[in-house]
A and B are shown apart, each in its own frame.
Chain A
């Protein structure tokens, strides 16, 4: 039997979070003596799809239909459901994402499959099927037992890590039947920051708060981010005041991130901000107030003025390369 993985792609490549989902499925499949089949929707090169193999898929089913390029949620759910039935899978794995969540919810009803989101570890299967998930915006974990035969797991970034030691997967075309009604909600335009590193997928993030004083100082954050190969983020008041675009706002009500390194500059560390970053492996805090709550959550800290420290830090990182 196979575990099916729904993979997303952007700019001609499979998303890293989706490759992580494939790696996760591969480990799960090994426990259960299964193999991993991925399903991709829309236009993308076969060679790029083969990449799913390096992360552990033996085959990729490709629905090569340009109508599926934009993230039409209902059509994606329908196509994946048909792939699921075709493969005869019992388990679907996908990366937690804006599109993934929306598709997974519809699929759980369509397939009559118990769905757990924000999964952070492989399931425990002795006596029930218990899945560890992040809850309370990262402030705790729950163990949820899936009681249905069919299962859907939406995996949080950095849950098991990415392994890329497999071979390229074979790609097979898949035909699906999609009714017109799947396209009732139409995407009319997208407005995507191209070339930038996407915040939810970034491995390093440099984030600025109100301590940066204004948008005119953001070059200090951007320079450090560039030197580190990082994405940029910000606190809520920063995006509320329009200093930075909304999609950079990190926290409980913004983007939740799980990078290897989160650098917080001039951010106080209010509990709502921490809630979005507490899954980071390492946190560096730069703040002139030694009492800033963020220091309690940090691994490394510098007490001092961001305007003084950032240029020096950027130079020191550049000197590494």
Chain B
């Protein structure tokens, strides 16, 4: 089986988010970049499936040269080869176009990615790629098993789960607990250095949206502390001041 895993290169979950140049640029100062946490789940499950069924596992990122350490990490976790499509990921449609084009050429059976990136939280790329390829898409997937040509999945819905079956090929947006994150070991890190990381040029520059500026939420006022022996006071405040009860 040929598996493609698409990963994002995003600020670490604990990053302080700030902007520069009159709120038009993300401030990278002091920010550590990681594989998107949801993409990490997709990758972990893909490594398991590849080990079970044989075949190959390619990891792909649409990004500029700075994302290569993130791709190397994915190689260290277990991908066989990496591909960087050399372009700034300007919007979901652009990214989806790049992935779909690459995937079509490579005839992948299974394309996994995270349910959403943790920077723009769009959660759209998997659905767009699937529509472009004319195959089913399922997200957010929390369980995925392959039995022959059949894919058995559980998908999270509001307040519960849905169980689904589909045939390969398929695109899935993943989340926990689809697999345990894998941490690269020394052997993985060493072998990642010699695995191929191919750089490919972007195919077209079609976008549908353009982010023009950013804003931070207003800072919160100080907390109003209520004495633990006077919980009635809290109830009163919630009723009369906040008006939420």
Q: Which residues of A contact B (CB under 8 A)?
A: 10, 70-71, 73-74, 77, 97-99, 101-106, 108-110, 113-118, 128, 130, 132, 134-148, 181, 184-193, 196, 198-201, 204, 228, 246-247, 252-253, 260-261, 271-272, 275, 278, 281-282, 284-285, 295-305, 308-309, 312-313, 316-317, 319-320
Question: B134: nearest residue on chain A (CB-CB)?
Answer: A181
- Which residues of chain B from 121 to 144 have a CB within 8 Å of any chain A CB? 121-128, 130-132, 134, 136-140, 142
Of B136, B177, B208, the residue contacting A146 (CB under 8 A) is B208
| Docked complex Cα distance between A266 and B172 (Å) | 35
Residues B13 and A271 in contact, CB atoms below 8 Å apart: yes
Question: A314: nearest residue on chain B (CB-CB)?
Answer: B231
A-B contact pairs, 11 of them (CB 8 A): A101-B123, A105-B128, A108-B124, A113-B208, A141-B214, A144-B91, A186-B164, A188-B163, A192-B160, A302-B231, A309-B228
Residues A136 and B17 in contact, CB atoms below 8 Å apart: yes
- Which residues of chain B from 166 to 209 have a CB within 8 Å of any chain A CB? 166-167, 170, 173, 175-177, 207-209
Residues A109 and B166 in contact, CB atoms below 8 Å apart: no
Residues A73 and B137 in contact, CB atoms below 8 Å apart: yes
Interface residues on chain B, number (Cβ under 8 Å): 79
Residues B209 and A109 in contact, CB atoms below 8 Å apart: no
**What chain B residues lie within 8 Å of A104 (beta carbons)?**
124, 127
| Docked complex Cα distance between A83 and B38 (Å) | 33
Residues A137 and B118 in contact, CB atoms below 8 Å apart: yes
Main SS class of interface, B = mixed
| Docked complex Cα distance between A135 and B124 (Å) | 14
**What chain A residues lie within 8 Å of B165 (beta carbons)?**
185-186, 188
Of B38, B123, B159, B164, the residue contacting A105 (CB under 8 A) is B123
Question: B172: nearest residue on chain A (CB-CB)?
Answer: A185
Residues A185 and B215 in contact, CB atoms below 8 Å apart: no
**What chain B residues lie within 8 Å of A295 (beta carbons)?**
223, 225
